[in-house]
Chain A
């Protein structure tokens, strides 16, 4: 979405400040406003700055770019803005303004790395890792080239959270899912969020083509970021696909509902769930993972004070982790402190990027949690899944 497409909306922000809060007003729920505290760093402040840019009352500067990039695009503003006719666009507008920053040469250096790495033909991922064509995994898990499902692993799971990836692979095998892998390139979430959109459509078309080659009609991912991108962004970039998209939590829930998944062991721990912004506020999935956790025998499932639409961001998204690594982990620390209040010993999520940042905070600040994805919990349990 270009800034021109939303130009007619930006000035309609009244800067009333609902966007800073959670639903009950008990907390400021916008991570960047929480940190910087100047009005400038609220969603409303950013809208007015962007309006100032459009009107030529402001000029691009490093500081202006920094203000726009110090937003984790968590969507709390979208959730809490009371102007229902157009509140859905706030994150899109931030991303569109970042695309303008890129055009004008003001993309911050650290975020530029995301594009350089992602477009590097040796990598195709933002982690600067050699591209994995996933052929070895296919061999290891005995996966054919053609299948009903594609497991779209995503870069974070494939290069940073391999336990999560492997747990997913094992789960899919246990569930007798006929699936395969593709030589995937980045879903483009990191470069879309940071406004570096020039190669996005090509990447999307590539991935869709690769999926088509497998003959799959269903695509599953264990990454909330990939899920949000495939679900919401492909259409915005004019890339169509005809497969059905699943997050792993949705498949697990379906198997439970159909009575195919049986637990044979207990998980005797107190667990709290961190809603990933990309699965929650961006995709509207709140209850499905909860229903899965609650069905695990032995589990003591507890909620953090801010949950579902009110969940506080882990601080990794929107290019914040690469752009502001120390602050990003401090945001996760705040989230873990909230988790502490619940008495949980396990903080679980359904997003490898949240898992990464929460784990980083857990380690850095010795918070003493076990940070683990839902699918990894299932991997630790003795489960039985019947085939169709």
Chain B
């Protein structure tokens, strides 16, 4: 690789100041906040337009250099750390909100728009609308979130965040630009079909199919009133029946549950946070009463929360990153397994056992996705970034948890390389074959984030 020439070529594409291979920049982009070991990067480039992305892809194809698209870099599982070196394409300069369609309720945005940016924009200009955003910090991008089948706010009501994608503009490995969804036929980016749905190829494929440059996501009406109703449960066996009962109510926007030893009042309990919506305070008060009764009937009890606590969680996004300081060490990573409801009690039990085995205070949580059709289960492990042994300990816990998730019928979500390999091992061979064939067809030179969704040893 002629490093100097490639840097020059990249700088010619995006401008001198937005392509780099300085040791300092490469150092930062070779690591993410999760537990993955650093992986070397050769260049970082920040395009501003789809055309620039096309030119970067063409260059990479000519030079056979891997490309790794990056949004906020907040997956924690190393998905934007190159496995085989190459160019990290940091998309954050592509940050235009192109259209808010209030009637068809979608946002057409560039791939670098952050969740915080869209949230603030809607709050200011379209206060009756809200985006579906993850629990991640506001620097996470909308594209990054939906393209990993993200979940978070509004997941219980509207499904996982992959489901809110109406359409994509993608630069393929060939350099061609393809439009997917209704925008392939219409001027409106209002729906995914009704045409053969190829959007799914680009979800959870971690940049191995192409680089998304533009996307339309559904946005949703904002309720007039919202409240959180907290609950506590002693015996996790009661989780499924409580969740089934809760989700018969039409006013449930989100459901989060969890189990952790800190703070002290949480120890020994599964705690519930049920977000309810209503048209008036009176309406909310009635619904709180209904939920209290639902808790009582299903082995749980209502917990009166302080206003401070309610305020902390009701504003979006909540501060999920707080787990990074549980061990005063600036790091945490979790296995986020999508799971069937019936296995959730066992997941809590055995997840806690793994935490204890590795000497990490249990921090387990879950979110409902689309009523009880799917639950994302978080097995979270904090670590001290300054202690390599502690980081290795977290990696070991993560690996054991990936095995557990798959054993219980779940699927690791946005999994790191190890989780991807385990998932491939369990995958229907013909699904896998079809996936690899499509990828080979789209990317014959294997430049799109190679090493991900791969059976090769790295």
Closest to A39 in B: B28
Give the residues in chain B near A67, CB-CB below 8 Å. Answer: 24
A39 lies within 8 A of B90 (CB): yes
Q: Is the CB of B384 within 8 A of A26?
A: no
Given contacts A39-B29, A48-B28, A63-B24, contact A12 B330 (CB under 8 A): yes
Minimum CB–CB distance for A46 against chain B, Å:
9
Q: B22 interface residue, CB < 8 Å from A?
A: yes
On whether the beta carbons of B33 and A26 are closer than 8 Å, the reply is no
| Other-chain contact of B121, A26, A39, A61 (Cβ < 8 Å) | A26
Residues on the B chain within 8 Å of A51, using CB: 385-386
- Report the stretch among B217-225, B318-326, B352-360 that lies at the interface: B318-326
Q: Assuming the A-B contacts A20-B139, A49-B28, A82-B322, are A36 and B17 also in contact, with contact meaning beta carbons closer than 8 angstroms in the complex?
A: yes
Interface size on B, residues (CB 8 A): 44
Within 8 A of B (CB), among A4-22: 11-18, 20-21
B77 → chain A, closest Cβ, in Å?
15
Per the bound structure, the CA–CA distance linking A51 and B386 in Å amounts to 9
Partner of B120, one of A14, A25, A48, A82: A25
Most buried by A among B90, B120, B384: B120
Output the nearest chain B residue to A22 by Cβ-Cβ distance: B120
Give the chain A neighbours of B120 by CB distance below 8 A: 24-26
B23 touches which of A61, A82, A83 (Cβ 8 Å): A61
Report yes or no: B139 in contact with A21, Cβ–Cβ below 8 A.
yes
Segment with Cβ contacts to A, from B2-10, B111-119, B277-285, B449-457? B111-119
Docked CA distance A63–B31 (Å): 19
Indicate if the CB atoms of B33 and A16 lie closer than 8 Å.
yes
B152 interfacial by beta-carbon distance below 8 Å: no
- One of A18, A48, A83 near B138 (C-beta < 8 A): A18
A16 in contact with B324 (CB, 8 Å): yes
Complex interface residues of chain B between 1 and 48 (CB less than 8 A to chain A): 17-18, 20, 22-25, 27-29, 31, 33, 44, 46
Partner of A85 from B23, B72, B325 at Cβ < 8 Å: B325
CA of A16 to CA of B20 in the docked complex: distance in angstroms?
Answer: 22
Say whether B137 faces chain A, with CB atoms less than 8 Å apart. yes
Would A21 and B116 be within 8 Å (CB), given that A13-B330, A38-B28, A67-B24 are in contact? yes
- The distance in angstroms between the C-alpha atoms of A45 and B29, with both chains bound, is 9
Q: How many angstroms between the C-alpha atoms of A21 and B139 in the bound complex?
A: 8
Contact B325 A14, beta carbon cutoff 8 Å: yes
- Chain A contact residues, CB within 8 Å of chain B: 11-18, 20-21, 24-26, 36-40, 45, 48-49, 51-52, 57-58, 61, 63-64, 67, 82-83, 85
Can you pick out 23 interface pairs between chain A and chain B where the beta carbons lie within 8 Å of each other?
A11-B386, A12-B328, A17-B72, A17-B74, A18-B139, A20-B139, A24-B120, A24-B123, A25-B116, A25-B138, A37-B92, A38-B28, A38-B44, A39-B73, A48-B27, A49-B27, A52-B27, A58-B27, A61-B23, A63-B24, A82-B319, A83-B322, A83-B325
Where the two chains meet, the residues of B that have a C-beta atom closer than 8 Å to any C-beta of A are 17-18, 20, 22-25, 27-29, 31, 33, 44, 46, 72-74, 90, 92-93, 114, 116-117, 119-121, 123-124, 137-139, 319, 321-322, 324-325, 328-332, 384-386
Q: Which 10 A-B pairs have the closest CB atoms?
A: A25-B116, A17-B139, A26-B120, A14-B324, A16-B137, A16-B321, A11-B386, A12-B330, A25-B138, A25-B120
Can you add 11 more A-B contacts, CB < 8 Å, to A11-B330, A14-B324, A58-B24?
A: A11-B385, A12-B385, A16-B324, A21-B138, A24-B123, A25-B116, A25-B119, A38-B44, A39-B29, A63-B23, A83-B322
